[in-house]
Amino acid sequence: MITEKKSTITYRKWDNGAMREFSEEVTVVRMDNGAITYACGITQEGYLLHCYFGAAIGDDDISYLMRLSDHPFTPNGNNRDRLIFMDSRLFEFPCHGTGDYREPCLMVLDEDGMSTCDLRVTGYRTVKGKPALKQKGVSVIPATYAAKDEAETLVITLEDAHLDLTAELTYTMFTGLPVVTRSARVINHGYNEFRIQRLLSGCVEWDHSAFDMITLNGTWARERAVSRVALHSGKQSVDSKRGISSHQHNPFAALVSHDASEESGEAYGFNLVYSGNFLAEAEVATSGFTRFVMGINPFDFSWLLRPEEDLTAPELVMVYSDKGIGAMSRTFHDLYRGHLIRGQWKDKMRPVLINNWEATYFNFDEEKLYAIAKTASEKGIEMLVLDDGWFGKRNYDDCSLGDWVVNEEKLKGGLKPLVDRINALGMKFGLWFEPEMVSPDSDLYRAHPEWAIQIIGRDMTQAREQYVLDYSNPEVREYVYGQIRAILDSANVEYIKWDMNRALSEVGSTSLPRKRQRELWHRYVLGVYEVMDRLTTDYPYLLLENCSSGGARFDPGMLYFSPQIWTSDDTDAIERIKIQYGTSLCYPASAMGAHVSDCPNHILGRTTPFATRGDVALVGTFGYELDVTRIPEEDREAIPGQIAKFKKFNPLVRTGDWYRLGNPFEDDSFDAWMFVAKDRSEAVFTFVQILNRPSTPSRRILLRGLDPKKVYRNEDTGEIRLGETWMKGGVIVGAQGDFASRTMHFTVC
């Protein structure tokens, strides 16, 4: 529910040697849904200030939270110290140039080279539901969605009269979820063009700095490792300047109370629905107040706005929890499963697949693939995915990207004969693409070298002997999509793994004018979104899995198009425990691509039990990455049981509440987790012993999320106890050996 309340703030101050009384007419606009309250205030002069974001509070006058009676009071009564006012108040959407020296959300450069912007509120409106984000000339901007009875949206309009610039701030609050989403749109209503140097999606402020900042960091094969540090004076940030959301830093951050744990304390979580360069930054000012901003990274970015043109910032998702970090995560999971992921696979169990990459790499032909598929189908595997090497003259990773035509030396007659044989086994067929890339040794590059991202006259940096195609160029998008369509129309392909294996460099476009070259970072991402949107619209049955050299684009922007993302190229079960733990802080298990791979592991050389690899992969979409015809017979015979286990528990894993019971970043000797049904009728618990130790007692692990008054049976041991006992007394797990796992199923008696 969105409401407004007008009030008068009265204060006294010395003025010309005498104590005088001043008053300020203010309006507080607030959003409430019973779970949280979000409120902002409009001053008499039109400044938009932040009031409150947190647990739901009653219908009361909260205008005092604007702190207008603090020194230096308001410019309305104390214009001589307007500069101090601007640098000390809590703003909803701070701008650069009028005295606020903290990090701004908006910075504009006009034709005279001036960079000041002064936004004042001119009005607001409310909308039932959640309108899609829009920008002229842009076909799709990924964002969460909601029906009219599932959310309410507030749009606040602000103007800079000097620039003839309008800003629209959009806030959406979802029914029953402690979530607010934000975005900003800037429109040029004047006669002159100007440049947007910085447009962030949102800002939240607090009148204290008693927070820890949690971020997810790493590198290839070690994505989303959890970092937690206390805020300090100055700035703390994570970002990407690589053109992708990146292995190194995920577009997620949380500010949590110092005492916040999984089950208690305050947590504010932030996630940007975007797949390119981003910035997330917390700044502790000299006052001790904290400002958090997030959006497109302003580094090397500008956007030309001609008259009547607009620019829309990506959506920022903001989650509040006063019940710990775990509740914050479960809110993100619920939001993304219900209001971000789309399509026919949104709520469905995904087919169990086998990917040939670690089985064959580039060395395969139709008969080898068929042999893998035949054995896999006999064990209950439901889909064969043909990875890299099926096109052009691709026998190694040094050529043919961009030439999306079947290599008939490997697959005689094209894809259709192979796919028909796979389908005849009762299996689906999937295919790997890397459509954003081009190899220097390719027919496409020889025909159109200008289609690669480049700066004319400079050497082009290669990575994996490939360049990045300029997706800001509509000719490139049309050509690539045409090639994808031709392949999909040639055979019954029901799954695509969309890969992207390098970051951007020498960022320039041969198709953009000089004035728009710094827009390429963002236009590239918008171009990728357009092609993905066409693909999922034209082929609605298609299961699209996003991949970027593993998990370099595990972000909400990708989840809008692909219901699952390859979590990491590191498939080692023990490393995956950490990767999946970090990923779970924000993203649901239903989105995590997870496979049982061969041992010794192809990246680490580690050997882990086949059963443990299966239990860890259950936290995700589940599949196999190995040569099923060559693994030990004992492992091969275990596959039907693993698949049965997946089918039994996946509805619970895919839709239930995830509770993290261990923390491998704090205690790397074990990990444990559980998924609990929404109605708390059942739960599945998993424990993984990492390195065993001599002379150590069994572990007692407290369960969570059960109904304390209901009686639960441990189906694996036969023990029957109250939910309260399982949660306060726990389960006893004995030593099992290195890398061993155990799964328990609890049901209401």
115 and 208 in a single domain? The answer is: yes
Give pLDDT tens digits for 457-494.
999 999 999 999 999 999 999 999 999 999 999 999 99
Number of compact structural domains in the chain? 3
Q: What is the dihedral of CA 59, 63, 66, 71, to 10 degrees?
A: -150
Full residue range of the structural domain in which residue 550 is found: 353-434+472-501+544-650
429 and 284 in a single domain? The answer is: no
Stretches in the chain below the pLDDT threshold 50: none
Task: Give the dihedral sign, CA 240/246/250/251.
Answer: positive
239 and 102 in a single domain? The answer is: yes
| Residue-level pLDDT at 21 | 73
643 and 679 in a single domain? The answer is: no
627 and 713 in a single domain? The answer is: no
CB atoms under 10 Å from CB of 214, counted, come to 21
Query: 């989303």: which residue's tokens?
Result: 224
Question: Does 687 map to a domain?
Answer: yes
Residue 644, phi-psi category: left (phi > 0), alpha (psi -120 to 50), beta (remainder): alpha
242 and 108 in a single domain? The answer is: yes
| Residue-level pLDDT at 514 | 97
Q: Token pair for residue 727?
A: 């949660």
Alpha helices in 425-506 (DSSP H): 443-447, 474-490
Global pTM value: 0.97
Cα three-residue angle 434-438-444, rounded to 5 degrees: 120
Give pLDDT tens digits for 357-406.
999 999 999 999 999 999 999 999 999 999 999 999 999 999 999 999 99
226 and 111 in a single domain? The answer is: yes
Question: Does 28 map to a domain?
Answer: no
CB atoms under 10 Å from CB of 60, counted, come to 8
The CATH number for 100's domain is 2.70.98.60
Q: List, by residue number, the catalytic residues.
A: 499, 569
Question: Does 230 map to a domain?
Answer: yes
614 and 684 in a single domain? The answer is: no
Spatial contact of 545 and 564, defined as CB atoms under 8 Å apart: yes
Domain's final residue, options 306, 339, 372: 339
For residue 418, what is the enclosing H or E element? helix 415-424
